[in-house]
Homo-oligomer: A and B are copies of this chain.
Amino acid sequence: MNCSDKENLKERTLALRDTLDLLGGKWKICILRNLYFGTMRFKDLQETVSGISPKVLSKMLYDLEQNLLITRKVNNTKPITVSYTITEYAKETIPVIEALLDFGLKHRRRIKAK
């Protein structure tokens, strides 16, 4: 099998990198897992995703929104609040994350036992 010819390797490689970029960091997965239980305001997210700075949280939320994984809503409250909701589409990432975690956990045990 010649990987370059027989499959569209370039597209597959890009697709793989996209997924890795999208889910590679610990924050995004943690944010998604929080939002999976319901809509949250920025402030609440900052509290539950412990250790994250407001600046980084902002950046992560922006990336997730651009990738259609969450939606952002500005609420007409005083003071104004912003809330985030996971999209139906984002729920498709769950099996991917689980597959990565399962293999990684198993692999760590295996390598440690070597």
Spell out A's residues near B (CB within 8 Å): 1-5, 9, 11-20, 22, 24, 26, 29-30, 33-34, 37, 48-51, 67-68, 89, 92-93, 95-97, 99-101, 103-108, 110-111, 114
Contacts and interface: CB of A to CB of B under 8 A. Distances in A.
Given A30-B3, A34-B1, A19 B100 contact: yes
What does DSSP make chain A's interface, helix, strand, loop or mixed? helix
- How many copies of the shown chain assemble into the complex? 2
B1 A108 contact: no
B51 A107 contact: no
A101 B14 contact: no
A34 B3 contact: yes
Contacts of A2: 48, 50
Contacts of A34: 1, 3
